[in-house]
Amino acid sequence: MSKQPLLRVENLVKYHPIKGGLFARTVHDVKAVDGISFDIFPGETVGLVGESGCGKTTVGRTILNLTPPTSGKVYFEGKDIFALDKGKMRKLRQDMQIVFQDPYGSLNPRMTVGDMLTEVLLVHKIVARNQAKRRSIELLDVVGLSDYHIDRYPHEFSGGQRQRLGVARALALRPKFIVCDEPVSALDVSIQSQVLNLLEDLQDEFGLTYLFIAHDLSVVKHISDRIAVMYLGKIVEMTSKRALYETPLHPYTQALLSAVPIANPELKREQIILEGEVPSPIKPPSGCRFHTRCAYVKPMCRELVPEWREVRPAHHVACHLVS
Amino acid sequence: MAERVLDVRNLKTSFHTAYGLIPAVDGVSFHVDKGETLGVVGESGCGKSVTALSVMRLVPEPPGVIEQGEILFEGKNLLSFSEHQMRRIRGNEIAMIFQEPLTSLNPVYTIGDQIAEAIMLHQGLSQAKAIGRSIEMLRLVGIPLPERRVRAYPFELSGGMRQRVMIAMGLSCNPSVLIADEPTTALDVTIQAQILRLMRQLKQEMGMAILLITHDLGVVAEMAQRVVVMYAGKIVEEAPVAFLFRRPWHPYTAGLLASIPQLDVERKRLHVIKGTVPNLADMPEGCRFNPRCPYADDQCRAYEPELQERDGRKVRCWHPLSQDEEGTSK
């Protein structure tokens, strides 16, 4: 792709300080995101996968400037978003939206659907007051809900419907880019496919660009064009979905893929089962962060941080052993 | 013939609600053989957890009530047992592990004390011996430094470690049946793979039967020999695992299998089962799946089908997909 990226992330770092002691000084840092770089091009879906605590949600929040970074840059359409003042950032938020994991916790229980949607529209001055209701009904229609839902409260909806409401709210501002943070993890299987299909339809219809954050590799594979795999605050591998699933190069990616249970009892395969657990992000291991669990570990892995390299066209890996 | 450890017959468990007495599990029958893993799959609210709790006689009464049925454990009906008799079964003969290991462990006791409690109670060992056996169990489930961890509190352990503790506790008295209710749902995939491998190994070593309740069809495919599919409080299909995945008979099972994204299959678009699971208080007439079924006709809307048995499989459907020509999908 030779196009300009819609979003460019450069060496993004986010540490959460842990305060302690008499003067509440910072005693440790949780190194949630520790120097990651990637581009997202217009119209594509980039999947971000990793296990709990790897920092994927922090990435989503930081690139939307919902939480300030420790260092690094994020460019949206060429603009450095951390350099914008409050007013300009608010304007930019129209273009960058988020859908949260928890469809129960992310909707105000005391607001009707109509109030919720018109508030968004009016705050950002998208439509005039007398047009707001009509536009809200249009939005409900776009996400597959009906006009009579407009006077209902969130508790009157099922999980899948609530997730549709979350999508409608994100779409209200006609964004270009949406971060989907585990949007289907809380849903039942039969509802999950409805929401995934909806997200794909909306992408086609409105030319949306997604960063799709999830822990479920099957879901990420289904929806993404390119995929980044995170481990302990770092991206360890990023490439097209096809290359990632057919020729994963990083030992962690290989293990992660082979750990996914496959709904085919007749499929015989060798599983790589990782021993141990993800180390603490407060004191990540030296060198390659994966070396404590890697089956192919060499002495250099314990000392040197592997470089982020393009080992094949459009296939980036951070591993000493991949040539 | 294989030895039947657990035989559930026509179980009906209901709950008193504002809408009256509502059955959550409605006439469910299944059995588990010695050394077998039976998978129970279904979406939230289909009654799979209530089934498990009924077997353990742990349904809170009130509001719950087991209205009818038999739960035969080694030939004895658990529903006729007194609470006192039941206590000898629970944790000793039939053990259960839950989805959320943190809320199932007592935060103010060490894990060693919690495992030892069951051992002392059921096996009559002294405290010192019971702690020794706890350490052995912790080692068996792959917890590093068990002599040290036996004195740890639940909050000091990670999610995967807590689930291992739950398994250690469940297995400490050599149960004949282990009921695992979504044992890996709260865990990451690499940890899930560890726990599933552990359960497979322990089943082989100890020869117990496992009732595995899950919504994850991948986990079922890897673990179970037979599968029961539940929908809205009833069993809609039962089959050996390979047959179920190769050729589902019930449209609901087929829909579920087609709607999951899979690593090994490229799908352009996911299949969608329209609508949602019906409210238990407002069940549709006829077949409970008919409002969501693409093949529903007048018969399906008027009359509820029975669970019919054929070729060692069971299906509750007027028009099971098996009647199709080979190779065409309806």
The pLDDT-based confidence of A309 (bands split at 50, 70, 90) is very high
Q: What percent of chain B has pLDDT over 70?
A: 97
Contact call for residues B204 and B16 (beta carbons, < 8 A)? no
Task: Name which of A194, A245, A260 is nearest B189 (Cβ-Cβ).
Answer: A260
Mutation site for B-interface testing, chosen from A57, A244, A260 by largest number of B Cβ within 10 Å: A260
The answer to whether the Cβ–Cβ distance between B260 and A264 falls below 8 Å is: no
- Nearest-Å Rg of the Cα atoms of chain B is 21
Most confident of A99-103, A156-160, B221-225: B221-225
- Lowest model confidence (mean pLDDT) among A87-91, A95-99, B1-5: B1-5
A179: Cβ contacts below 8 Å, ≥ 6 apart: A60, A63, A64, A96, A97, A98, A99, A210, A211, A213
SS3 content of chain A, % helix, strand, coil (to 5): 35, 25, 40
Q: What is the pLDDT of residue B224?
A: 94
Q: Whose structure tokens read 């395969």?
A: A269
Residue range B227-240: mean pLDDT, rounded: 94
**Helices marked H in chain A — which ranges?**
56-63, 86-93, 113-123, 129-142, 159-171, 189-206, 217-223, 241-246, 251-259, 299-303
- Lowest model confidence (mean pLDDT) among A10-14, A104-108, B112-116, B148-152: A104-108
Measure in Å the smallest separation between the Cα of A265 and chain B Cα atoms.
5
Q: What is the pLDDT of residue B324?
A: 53
- Lowest model confidence (mean pLDDT) among A71-85, A144-158, A291-305: A144-158
Tokens of A93: 């938020």
Tokens of A223: 């929806």
Average pLDDT of chain A to the nearest whole number: 90
The answer to whether the Cβ–Cβ distance between A219 and B261 falls below 8 Å is: yes
Rounded Cα–Cα distance for residues B4 and B36 (Å): 10
Tokens of A117: 């949607």
Contact call for residues A132 and A108 (beta carbons, < 8 A)? no
Residue B102, pLDDT above cutoff 90: no
Phi then psi for residue B321, to 5 deg, are: -65, -10
* Cα nearest neighbour of A196 on chain B: B270
DSSP-derived secondary structure for A170-190: HHTT--SEEEEESTTTTS-HH
Q: What is the pLDDT of residue A71?
A: 94
Of B316, B327, B159, give the one whose Cα is nearest residue B251. Answer: B316
Say if strands B37-41 and A177-181 run parallel, antiparallel, or are unpaired: unpaired
Q: What is the pLDDT of residue A81?
A: 93
Rounded Cα–Cα distance for residues A134 and A157 (Å): 21
- Give the count of Cβ contacts less than 8 A between chain A and B: 121
CA B105 to centroid of chain Cα atoms: 20
pLDDT digits (tens, 9 = 90+) for A94-117: 999 999 887 778 888 899 999 999
* Cα nearest neighbour of A54 on chain B: B188
Residue B330, pLDDT above cutoff 70: no
Contact call for residues B143 and B168 (beta carbons, < 8 A)? yes
Q: What is the pLDDT of residue B1?
A: 53
- Lowest model confidence (mean pLDDT) among A71-85, B141-155, B286-300: B141-155
The pLDDT-based confidence of A45 (bands split at 50, 70, 90) is very high
With the CA atoms of A270, A322, A212 and B186 taken in that order, what torsion angle do they form, in degrees rounded to the nearest 10? 40
* Cβ-based contacts of B218 with chain A (< 8 Å): 218, 260-263
DSSP-derived secondary structure for B71-105: EEETTEEGGG--HHHHHHHBTTTEEEE-S-HHHHS
Q: Whose structure tokens read 């069971």?
A: B314
Q: What is the pLDDT of residue B328?
A: 42
The answer to whether the Cβ–Cβ distance between A215 and B188 falls below 8 Å is: yes
Residue B198, pLDDT above cutoff 50: yes
Q: Whose structure tokens read 């009256």?
A: B20
Tokens of B241: 């695992």
Residue A319, pLDDT above cutoff 50: yes
Rounded Cα–Cα distance for residues A96 and A171 (Å): 10
* Cβ-based contacts of B267 with chain A (< 8 Å): 222
Q: Please give the residue that has the higher pLDDT: either B78 or B325.
A: B78
CA B122 to centroid of chain Cα atoms: 24
What 3-state class would DSSP assign to A9?
Answer: strand
Phi then psi for residue B7, to 5 deg, are: -135, 110
Rounded Cα–Cα distance for residues A296 and A17 (Å): 33
Contact call for residues B79 and B71 (beta carbons, < 8 A)? yes
Contact call for residues B226 and B269 (beta carbons, < 8 A)? no
Contact call for residues B194 and B162 (beta carbons, < 8 A)? no
Task: Name which of A51, A197, A223 is nearest B188 (Cβ-Cβ).
Answer: A51
Rounded Cα–Cα distance for residues B132 and B125 (Å): 10
- Partner B contacted by A189 (CB < 8 A): yes
The pLDDT-based confidence of A160 (bands split at 50, 70, 90) is confident
Task: Name which of A218, A256, A266 is nearest B262 (Cβ-Cβ).
Answer: A218
pLDDT digits (tens, 9 = 90+) for A1-28: 457 899 999 999 999 888 877 777 878 8
Measure in Å the smallest separation between the Cα of B123 and chain A Cα atoms.
32
The answer to whether the Cβ–Cβ distance between B260 and A193 falls below 8 Å is: yes
Tokens of A83: 């350099």
Q: What is the pLDDT of residue A220?
A: 93
Phi then psi for residue A312, to 5 deg, are: -135, 165
Q: What is the pLDDT of residue B142?
A: 79
DSSP-derived secondary structure for A115-150: HHHHHHHHHTT-S-HHHHHHHHHHHHHHTT--GGGG
B49: Cβ contacts below 8 Å, ≥ 6 apart: B181, B182, B213
Task: Name which of B196, B216, B272 is nearest A193 (Cβ-Cβ).
Answer: B272
- Partner B contacted by A274 (CB < 8 A): yes
What 3-state class would DSSP assign to B212?
Answer: strand
SS3 content of chain B, % helix, strand, coil (to 5): 35, 25, 40
Residue range B164-177: mean pLDDT, rounded: 86
Tokens of A280: 């603490």
pLDDT digits (tens, 9 = 90+) for A195-207: 899 999 999 999 9
Q: pTM (2 decimals)?
A: 0.85
Residue range A229-237: mean pLDDT, rounded: 94
Q: What is the pLDDT of residue B186?
A: 75
Q: What is the pLDDT of residue B12?
A: 94
* CA within 13 Å, CB half, A247: 10
Residue range A302-318: mean pLDDT, rounded: 93
The answer to whether the Cβ–Cβ distance between B217 and A158 falls below 8 Å is: no
Task: Name which of A196, A222, A259 is nearest B192 (Cβ-Cβ).
Answer: A259
Most confident of A53-62, A229-238, B136-145, B162-171: A229-238
Q: What is the pLDDT of residue B9?
A: 94
Q: What percent of chain A has pLDDT over 90?
A: 58
Rounded Cα–Cα distance for residues A58 and A12 (Å): 11
The answer to whether the Cβ–Cβ distance between A265 and B222 falls below 8 Å is: yes
* Cα nearest neighbour of A264 on chain B: B221
Q: Whose structure tokens read 């009904």?
A: A137
Contact call for residues A53 and A281 (beta carbons, < 8 A)? yes
Average pLDDT of chain B to the nearest whole number: 88
